[in-house]
A and B are shown apart, each in its own frame.
Chain A
Amino acid sequence: MKQYQLSTGEKKFIGSHLLVAILALAVGSLFGPLQAFEHAGWDFYPYLKPFIKSYYQGLTVHGVLNALVWTTFFIMGFLTFNVTFALKRPLKNPTLNKVGFWLMVVGVVAAAIPILANEATVLFTFYPPLKANWAFYVGLTLVVVGSWVEGWGLFMTFAGWRKENPNVRSPFVAFASILTALLWQICTLGVAVEILTMLLPWSLGLIEGVDPQLARTYFWFTGHPLVYFWLLPAYISWYAMLPKQAGNGKMFSDSLARLSFWIFLVLSTPLGFHHQYVDPGVPPVWKFIHSMLTFGVFFPSMMTAFTVVASLEHAGRKQGGKGALAWIGKLNWSDPSVAAQLLAGILFFFGGIGGLTNASYNVNLVLHNTAFIPGHFHLTVATAVTLSFMGISYWLLPYLTGRKLWNPKWAVAQAWTWFIGMIIFSNAMHIVGLLGAPRRVPLGLAPYVPAEWNSRLFQVGVGGAILFVSGALYLTVMLKTALNKEKVTEEVEVPMAEAMQDPALTPDWLDRWAPWIYGSLALIVLVYGPVLFDMIKNIALTSPGFRVW
């Protein structure tokens, strides 16, 4: 059966998201290895003056471009593709989505100018009292608002489909994409309030001081579900696309997949205090409640692990795989899209373990603000998410452009070098963190580094070098593919795995939105409301701003 056809205009629109995302990754990734090299004692920052004035400016460029811009643009493009392709219909109001996209672009430019001018060296968490130029906050606001507007366009498209198909089970890929966009709309209320009520007026001189505790609480209202905004699109691919690519497998359970997404929606926002265990201004009982809810997320995470691995096992068995684990070798490892996503999933196992230790109220005291934390999130956002997105782009770019993927063997090598580089880098960061090395510190300059850290810091540099090579390979493959004169002979098949059981048999309550949305909002009000009410009632806009780099 011939697959649904996107128009050339739609392909270009989605491709525009990929273009901005990959450009951001290209610039941001230049600075990642510089951080790693600095830790190893190979400091290249003095050679970058006057363009880049400090380690912290480089760290800000790396964090903002890679963690915020690369991810947000790729995700909005991927969600747009998923909704239109899976619902087999164009966007209801494409102009609205275009407005959203351009708002995001303007926002990136507005934020980039002060960052490059060293007027916004506040890292990607932009915690006050570190103070940035107002244009940085305006830029971030526009990126968020633009992504909301694009989300509204997706909601309208889904609503139009539902109106015409009242009793039909929504396709999983469209359902999960809409849910991801909805999660983003809810959770970004935190940073929106933070920027609009405090940081922006403060940076414009309208208010004299800021309340750092309240600002951090607003930030983590968004900051943790931001992780799920990154992860859920990768999960969509792992659940519903990867099994097909890996060996013509099927999704093990449509019901389990939907249930896990609903629980992610409900639980991913009201748990931000597990990032603030050492904040003195948050009462311990609320930290405890948030820690319990954090462990609640373990359940949909394990449901995801079970369903995804079972779907892959189904693919492996279909290819003749035997034994308890030998089927893994039968998966389609020669396909770079598959290799990248499988390797991302393997490292995510360890990222999940690190996340659970971070979330443990007592154990977190060993890890908080140590190098363990960047070690952990380089397994999650920089591997589970980024390597998966790279894998997705290995079929999505040829699909959008009609050009053959340039040199698939190089693409496979890229996935493996990322995997190996990240193991070396991240393992060393975890261990040196456990030994007490702080995060967000140019350790190459620190006079207190004991001898036992040195071999690990060297490994951080080696890992960073391998990741740099891998990043360059990715950019080369993308660029060469975009310019490839060799066209695909037939349109690239979009990998959509069927569910083993007919989705029509999935319970109706797993396809109803209102109860889950009301439940999510109610839980947020219950576990954030009293603390936020108290913090706002006692707001102390007393802290002056600091520009220390």
Chain B
Amino acid sequence: MAKKDKDDDEFRPTGTIAVLTIFVITLIAIWTTIYMILVGRGSTL
């Protein structure tokens, strides 16, 4: 059985939330940039 440390109970992955927030913002920015290229090339591409 895995040993459970006191630190494990207190661990809150706040840094992980920060990393994933940066990821989602970057994702939206890049996706939108490419979408704007699509729109810029016209609707009959």
Indicate if A316 sits at the interface (CB-CB under 8 A).
Answer: yes
A268–B35 CA distance with the chains assembled, in angstroms: 25
**Are the C-beta atoms of A498 and B2 separated by less than 8 Å?**
yes
Within 8 Å CB of B7, what residues of A? 317-318
Task: Annotate A400-424 by CB proximity to B: 1 below 8 A, 0 otherwise.
Answer: 0000000000000000000000000
| Chain A, Cβ-Cβ closest to B33 | A434
Within 8 Å CB of A313, what residues of B? 13, 15-16
5 contacts across the A-B interface (CB closer than 8 A): A309-B20, A313-B16, A325-B18, A325-B19, A360-B31
Within 8 Å CB of B38, what residues of A? 362-363, 365-366
Indicate if A453 sits at the interface (CB-CB under 8 A).
Answer: no
The answer to whether A367 and B34 touch (CB under 8 A), given A349-B23, A504-B1, is yes
**Are the C-beta atoms of A306 and B20 separated by less than 8 Å?**
yes
- A residues 342-358 touching B (CB-CB < 8 Å): 349-350, 352-354, 356-357
Indicate if A503 sits at the interface (CB-CB under 8 A).
Answer: yes
Task: Give how many A-B residue pairs fall within 8 Å (CB-CB).
Answer: 83
**Are the C-beta atoms of B31 and A363 separated by less than 8 Å?**
yes
| Chain A, Cβ-Cβ closest to B35 | A363
**Are the C-beta atoms of B16 and A306 separated by less than 8 Å?**
yes
Task: Annotate B1-39 by CB proximity to A: 1 below 8 A, 0 otherwise.
Answer: 111100110010111101110010011001100110110
**Are the C-beta atoms of A309 and B19 separated by less than 8 Å?**
yes
**Are the C-beta atoms of A501 and B11 separated by less than 8 Å?**
no
Chain B min CB distance to A245 (Å): 18
Within 8 Å CB of B13, what residues of A? 252, 306, 309-310, 313-314
Indicate if A324 sits at the interface (CB-CB under 8 A).
Answer: yes
Within 8 Å CB of A305, what residues of B? 20, 23
| Chain B, Cβ-Cβ closest to A372 | B34
Task: Annotate A291-330 by CB proximity to B: 1 below 8 A, 0 otherwise.
Answer: 0000000000010011001100110111001011101100
**Are the C-beta atoms of B4 and A324 separated by less than 8 Å?**
no
Chain A min CB distance to B28 (Å): 9
B interface residues (Cβ-Cβ under 8 A, vs A): 1-4, 7-8, 11, 13-16, 18-20, 23, 26-27, 30-31, 34-35, 37-38, 41, 45
A313–B30 CA distance with the chains assembled, in angstroms: 26
A interface residues (Cβ-Cβ under 8 A, vs B): 250, 252, 302, 305-306, 309-310, 313-314, 316-318, 321, 323-325, 327-328, 349-350, 352-354, 356-357, 360, 362-363, 365-367, 434, 498-504
Dominant SS at the B interface? helix
The answer to whether A309 and B34 touch (CB under 8 A), given A353-B27, A502-B1, A503-B2, is no
Report which residue of B3, B16, B30, B35 has the largest number of chain A beta carbons within 10 angstroms of its beta carbon. Answer: B16
The answer to whether A356 and B31 touch (CB under 8 A), given A365-B38, A366-B37, is yes
Within 8 Å CB of A316, what residues of B? 15
Within 8 Å CB of A252, what residues of B? 13
Chain B min CB distance to A417 (Å): 24
A321–B18 CA distance with the chains assembled, in angstroms: 15
Within 8 Å CB of A349, what residues of B? 23, 26
The answer to whether A500 and B31 touch (CB under 8 A), given A313-B13, A324-B18, A349-B23, is no
A498–B23 CA distance with the chains assembled, in angstroms: 27
Query: Which of B11, B14, B31 makes the CB contact (< 8 A) with A324?
Result: B14
Within 8 Å CB of B3, what residues of A? 498
A138–B16 CA distance with the chains assembled, in angstroms: 47
| Chain A, Cβ-Cβ closest to B21 | A324
Chain B min CB distance to A298 (Å): 10
Q: Add 4 more A-B contacts to A306-B13, A317-B7, A353-B26 (CB < 8 A).
A: A366-B45, A434-B34, A498-B3, A499-B2
Chain B min CB distance to A348 (Å): 10
Within 8 Å CB of A366, what residues of B? 34, 37-38, 41, 45
Within 8 Å CB of A324, what residues of B? 14-15, 18
Within 8 Å CB of A503, what residues of B? 2
A314–B23 CA distance with the chains assembled, in angstroms: 19
Chain B min CB distance to A165 (Å): 15
**Are the C-beta atoms of A325 and B15 separated by less than 8 Å?**
yes
Chain B min CB distance to A504 (Å): 7
Chain A min CB distance to B39 (Å): 10
Query: Which of A352, A357, A501, A504 makes the CB contact (< 8 A) with B34?
Result: A357
| Chain A, Cβ-Cβ closest to B28 | A353
A366–B45 CA distance with the chains assembled, in angstroms: 9
**Are the C-beta atoms of B2 and A365 separated by less than 8 Å?**
no
Chain A min CB distance to B10 (Å): 10
Within 8 Å CB of A352, what residues of B? 23, 27
Chain A min CB distance to B7 (Å): 7
Chain B min CB distance to A440 (Å): 21
**Are the C-beta atoms of A502 and B4 separated by less than 8 Å?**
yes
Chain A min CB distance to B36 (Å): 10
**Are the C-beta atoms of A357 and B4 separated by less than 8 Å?**
no
